[in-house]
């Protein structure tokens, strides 16, 4: 069974985003956003694996996995708010988190809408 059109649209929007991890990638461990960027880098890889799993028809518990990652992103969001950074940098981090949360919600919705928890249905 193929993924829903709304999931595919959300996936294409998310996959085009640049993960805001400049300090992490340049190993600027003294940067106030370093730990947040490290967490976002890991989250991005994880969410990419989840999305790919939906596309490939893997039999994961997508609802549980997406829900768990949403909790992690909420923790990261709180860390962003505690960072000593300028408005533009904070907004970039927030926007990426919101976009990732939207994709995860779409994963949950599309799987639940199809009436299954462990396999993407249309």
Higher pLDDT, 3 or 42: 42
41: in domain: yes
What domain count does the chain have?
1
Q: 17: left (phi > 0), else alpha (psi -120 to 50), else beta?
A: beta
Is the Cβ–Cβ distance between 121 and 114 less than 8 Å?
yes
Residue numbers of the domain that contains 67? 5-113
25: in domain: yes
120: in domain: no
Q: What tens digit of pLDDT does each residue of 1-30 get? A: 578 899 999 999 999 999 999 999 999 999
CATH code at position 91:
1.20.58
Q: Please state, in angstroms and rounded to a whole number, the distance separating the CA atoms of residues 120 and 3.
A: 6
121: in domain: no
Residue given tokens 């929007």 in the structure block = 13
118: in domain: no
Helix residue ranges per DSSP H, 21-86: 22-25, 34-56, 62-82
Write down the pTM of the prediction.
0.90
119: pLDDT strictly greater than 60: no
What the block records as the tokens of 109 is 């919705």
52: in domain: yes
């Amino acid at each position: 069974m193929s993924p829903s059109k709304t999931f595919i649209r959300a996936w294409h929007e998310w996959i085009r985003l640049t993960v805001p991890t400049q300090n992490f990638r340049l190993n600027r461990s003294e940067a106030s956003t370093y730990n947040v960027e490290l967490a976002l880098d890991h989250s991005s890889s994880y969410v990419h694996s989840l999305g790919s799993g939906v596309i490939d028809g893997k039999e994961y518990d997508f609802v549980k996995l997406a829900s768990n990652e949403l909790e992690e992103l909420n923790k990261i969001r709180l860390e962003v708010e505690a960072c000593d950074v300028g408005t533009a940098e904070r907004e970039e981090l927030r926007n990426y988190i919101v976009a990732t949360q939207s994709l995860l919600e779409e994963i949950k919705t599309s799987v639940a809408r199809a009436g299954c928890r462990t396999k993407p249905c249309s």
